[in-house]
Amino acid sequence: MSNKMWGGRFTERPDAIMEEINVSIDVDRHMYAQDIAASKAHAVMLAAQGIITANDAKNIAKGLDTILSEIGKGSFDFKRALEDIHMNVESRLADLIGPAAGRLHTARSRNDQVATDFRLFVRDTIDETDRALAAFQQALAQRALEHAATVMPGFTHLQTAQPVTFGHHLLAYVEMASRDRGRFADARQRLNESPLGAAALAGTSFPIDRAATAKALGFDRPMANSLDAVSDRDFVIETLSAAAICSVHLSRFAEEIVIWTSPLVGLIRLSDKFTTGSSIMPQKRNPDAAELVRAKTGRVIGALNALLIVMKGLPLAYQKDMQEDKLGAMEAFGALSLAIRAMTGMVLDMVPDEARMKLAAGEGYATATDLADWLVRTLKMPFRDAHHVTGRIVAKAASDGVALHELPLKAMQAIEPDITRDALSVLSVEASVKSRTSFGGTAPKNVAAQAKAWLKRLEKERKLG
């Protein structure tokens, strides 16, 4: 026998393989709350428009609430033979309230239904992600304030470049997370239009009120074109794009944690909470949480690529290919959520080795630029000349096997006679970071001010909800 929910034209059952490839309940069951919310809004609108009776709408709402409770308690029987969440809910609704359940599908299709459900799901995901990123920023900004003056090496090419502060480094990721939140907010704004009422692809002849259902579901407006409404998946692609960029930021930070916790570098330590041991080497402490955050980036980027490939050749309007839009996206969103929470935990857990950081900050003649800057400021030397002179002084220190600040003044004066003892005062790592007072620079007072500003901003956001 054919499927009773759609098979009036069919006289035979689908092949078992057809049923298997067609079923989506294992994935779209995760949208049950959104599906029920959209159905309730649709029923209320149908009654308000006189398309179904108020009594039928009341019974539908009561039945849907029962189903919501059953699913929440884990007692709902999901049936693969019914293919998807929409038909599972409708079938159970018929069990509960009888033939009136069949009126719920008036003036809609599974095409606009799934598009609505998934928009609601992605919107909820964006909101959850924003909250998680705000907590991540909070943790970073708090630790940045604690370590506004903790000197560490800054790197380019993974080589020691100039001293910075640990707080300054952490605030860089606060800024990245802020841009991530902005991208998610932009995606949310664009997705917040309702497909419900577009029906299969052409709209409906029933006198529905799409603005009413859009408002009931928190959308800004109904989508203006029924073809676009059922076939658009830009909202998923855009959100996955934001997720991919965010996951890359997390991966970069995770990579730094892996490097910093290595005994060869030893800039920070993680506790037992975010490390694991070895089954054969008892001395090991592995930064597995950071490594897994780094790896989960592949899932997110892969989901974005997969959906772009699915959508690239699809004509209007709905195609069954679009059923493949959910699994990868849901897995990606789940991976990103876990990665953000893991990184937040590691930020709160990490303990910098301040003595090692300070020592490392001065290695590799990291304050050479400060000497060049002194030559420019004090001796009015063109920077290119100062760069050349400083390079020769660094070469002398390297050949003598001493740090830059340990090179005798006479050795410096042999290269540049006008250098005075005052130049030595700029060569400490503390003096170096303290001098970087330009806006956005690493000076401790800058870092403390920026950290406090972020904490104030985040607290204001939290209170506003």
Residue of 157, 205, 279, 438 marked catalytic: 157
Which phi and psi (to 5°) does residue 341 adopt? -65, -40
Residue of 2, 262, 278, 425 marked catalytic: 278
Active-site residue flag, 428: no
Q: Are strands 151-156 and 351-352 parallel, antiparallel or unpaired?
A: unpaired
Give the residue from 436, 358, 452 showing the smallest Cα distance to 144: 452
d(CA 164, CA 74): 53
Burial group, residue 278, by CB count within 10 angstroms (0-12, 13-18, 19+): exposed
d(CA 302, CA 59): 44
Residue 427: how many other CB atoms lie within 10 Å: 21
d(CA 186, CA 204): 31
Q: Residue count of the chain, please give it.
A: 465
d(CA 422, CA 464): 52
Active-site residue flag, 157: yes
Contacts of 178 (CB under 8 A, 6+ apart): 137
What tokens appear for 272 in the block? 């037992």
Which run of H or of E encompasses 288? Answer: helix 288-311
d(CA 42, CA 27): 23
Tell me if 240 sits within 8 A of 119, measured CB to CB. no
CA-to-CA separations, 107 to 19, 20, 39, 49, 200, in angstroms, rounded: 27, 29, 12, 12, 9
Q: Which residue has the tokens 């592995």?
A: 286
Tell me if 24 sits within 8 A of 84, measured CB to CB. yes
Q: Which residue has the tokens 């054969």?
A: 280
β-sheet bridge partners, residue 306: none
Omega prior to 317 cis, within 30 of 0: yes
For the annotated catalytic residues, the residue numbers are: 157, 278
